[in-house]
């Protein structure tokens, strides 16, 4: 085997290894990314597109991923940014029909009163200001810690924890019927 053949084999091995690492990443986190995309968009086809675009962007920037341990937060950050970018480009047509609302994928079939409660909670969370909504959604849906959320949103941990506390209080006030939750 010549030196050139050896170098070519090394490059091919590196590409195969990169592809396997990426496929492992997709396998490990696809469900979480798709679930968060569904929560953000409330429209399954749009969530599928958003998830696909997230993983395409992740493939392009895959070499920038430091470790597999930080992959979930990295993918959620890509997803949030991609959603913001797509939302700026296109404003979806709004329906007044509420029968399009569905639960998150893979959730068990809920009773009508449970569906109504889930819908009310989702609407209440979406009504929060982004500074409160984003950390809360990342914690509840993504399962991230305050520190991880701080890194993703470029905030310090104390700020994240304060916003989570206020978001919960605002939600509690809205859901208990004590106003719009604007009092801090």
29-78 residue pLDDT tens? 999 999 999 988 888 999 999 999 999 999 999 988 888 888 999 999 99
Report yes or no on 46 lying in a domain.
yes
Could you read off the pLDDT of 89-120 as tens digits, one per residue? 555 454 443 444 444 444 456 677 777 777 78
Report yes or no on 128 lying in a domain.
yes
Rg (CA), the chain: 20
Report yes or no on 100 lying in a domain.
no
Between 151 and 102, residue with greater pLDDT: 151
Mean pLDDT across the stretch 130-143?
Answer: 88
Range of the domain at 30: 13-89
Q: How far is CA 104 from CA 9, 10, 45, 122, in A?
A: 45, 44, 13, 11
Say if residue 12's pLDDT is above 80. Answer: no
Could you read off the pLDDT of 116-136 as tens digits, one per residue? 777 788 888 888 898 998 899
**What is the per-residue pLDDT for 5?**
64
Report yes or no on 85 lying in a domain.
yes
């Amino acid at each position: 085997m010549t030196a050139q053949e050896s170098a070519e084999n090394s490059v091919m091995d590196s590409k195969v290894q990169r592809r396997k690492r990426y496929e492992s990443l997709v396998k490990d986190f696809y469900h979480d990314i798709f679930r968060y995309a569904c929560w953000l968009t409330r429209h399954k086809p749009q969530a599928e597109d958003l998830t696909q675009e997230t993983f395409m962007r992740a493939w392009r920037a895959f070499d920038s991923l430091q470790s597999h341990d930080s992959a979930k937060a990295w993918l959620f950050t890509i997803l949030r940014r991609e959603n913001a970018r797509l939302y700026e480009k296109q404003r979806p047509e709004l329906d007044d029909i509420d029968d399009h609302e569905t639960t998150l994928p893979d959730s068990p079939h809920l009773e009508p009163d449970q569906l109504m409660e889930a819908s009310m909670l989702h609407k209440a969370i979406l009504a929060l200001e982004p500074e409160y909504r984003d950390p809360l959604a990342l914690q509840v849906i993504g399962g991230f810690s305050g520190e991880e959320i701080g890194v993703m949103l470029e905030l310090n941990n104390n700020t994240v924890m304060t916003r989570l506390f206020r978001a919960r209080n605002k939600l509690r006030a809205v859901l208990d019927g004590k106003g719009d939750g604007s009092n801090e």
